[in-house]
Amino acid sequence: MKFKNKVVWITGASSGIGEALAYEFTHEGAKTILSSNEPEELEGVKKRCEEMGGESCVLFLDLLDTPSLGEATKKAIEKYGCIDILINNGGISHRSMVHETDIDFDRRIMEIDFFSYIILTKSLLPHMLERGGGQIAVTSSLSGIFGFPLRSAYAAAKHAVKGYFETVSIELRDRNIFVTIAYPGRIRTNISLRALTKDGKPQGVMDKGLAGGLPVEKCAKIYVNAIYKKRREVLIGGRELLMAYIRRFCPRLFWRLVGRVSPV
């Protein structure tokens, strides 16, 4: 077991990648603290972790309520007395054109998908440094490597995550703080169902690209293995990952191709 008796705190653990990470870490022997703003779903994930023979607990967390996150960190530490690994995974996406997206909506996306990650990390780092080290993982996206239609605020938040946590890695790696940034592509989750439209309502439709994406269980295995190996970054997905390499090595070709890819 790669993470036997390690304590792992996962945000966004009630569904999607977060839920799959909870099961994979449990399989690898970790104790899990499960957080999201969906208490009933969290209890279901906790129950399954326990059925797998794992030790798990629930901590309700609203990432939009950023003033509450410092106190939530204290509660998380109290659950098992320590936290070895923080997984900043919770978040929200949208499907709306730039000119149709209200600035308050942009701020909401940034608050959840970026600032909550910073606050939780800042709140937890003193504990990790005092203990002599720890690990932090953050879920970015291919949209954190290049912009993509209908995801302006989401892409902005994920780009910010990249810059911020690369800096954390550079500053604190010699103090045994290891950072892994995951860049999932098309993963078969319900994120597009919950993605907000310009009216602030859930889209309610699965993107065709995500419907044919990588199974979330496989995504979790790759993600957890990258954390185990203390990799600085990991791209997770299928053929769509080629766009990241094209963007880096053949930017002129990238700009010709990106507009032809269906954004839903």
Query: Would you please indicate which residues are annotated as catalytic (active-site) residues?
Result: 154
Q: Please, are residues 12 and 41 in contact by the beta-carbon 8 Å criterion?
A: no
CA atoms of 81 and 6, how far apart (whole Å): 11
Check residue 151 and report its DSSP letter. B
Report H helices in 99-196.
103-110, 116-131, 152-172, 191-194
- 170 CB contacts (<8 Å, ≥6 apart)? none
Q: Please, are residues 179 and 168 in contact by the beta-carbon 8 Å criterion?
A: yes
> If we measure between CA atoms, which residue out of 153, 120, 156 comes closest to residue 137?
120
Q: Please, are residues 42 and 14 in contact by the beta-carbon 8 Å criterion?
A: yes
Q: Please, are residues 232 and 172 in contact by the beta-carbon 8 Å criterion?
A: no
Compute the Cα dihedral for 21, 23, 24, 28 and give only its sign.
positive
Q: Please, are residues 184 and 17 in contact by the beta-carbon 8 Å criterion?
A: yes
Q: CA-CA distances (angstroms) from residue 65 to 92, 120, 129, 210?
A: 14, 12, 26, 29
